[in-house]
Amino acid sequence: MILSAIFVVIALAALGLLFQMRRGRPSSEVLQNPGAYIRSLDIDAFRNLIDPAEEEFLRCRLSAPEFRKIQRERLRAAAEYISCAAQNAAILLRMGEAARRSSDAATAEVAEKLVDQALRLRLYAFQAILRLRVRILFPGWRPASLRVVESYEQVTRQVVRLGLQSPVRGVAAAL
């Protein structure tokens, strides 16, 4: 009975995230000035939130109820970081789609990689948010590592490369 309730909660969370991801598609107005809509992320702070060593440090220093409370707050903050990265990826995906049509072959190639990596980041973000939501319910559970940070850094590198080949209106600086 409890297991089926958990699956129902997970399914509802997945549907909610799919709806949120669909709703988050940027408009053409965003593409006119994407640097104004890209939200900057503190990758070091995010790494700290998902660091197993930091979690273990808190587990040893805090009582069990305090640890669960603090860990839930940390997990909510991590989910917010990931949601922000997914929104940035949606904007970068649209930018990459537009840049793929460039007559410059090098720009089109970099844009193709940006599209691929932005899609991958959105997928990783979706999976990571689901895992974090489950961990909020069960703070002691330790899922597989989140690949969002590495994927976000790859997307950032592609934006910088694209910026060197064509203007991306301050997007690389905002990331």
The model's pTM is 0.72
Q: Of 84, 81, 85, 52, which Cα lies nearest the Cα of 154?
A: 85
What's at 158, amino acid-wise?
Q
Q: What is the pLDDT of residues 138-160, one digit of tens each?
A: 877 776 666 787 888 888 887 77
Spatial separation of the C-alpha atoms in residues 9 and 12, rounded to whole Å: 5
Q: What is the pLDDT of residues 83-111, one digit of tens each?
A: 999 998 888 888 888 888 888 888 888 88
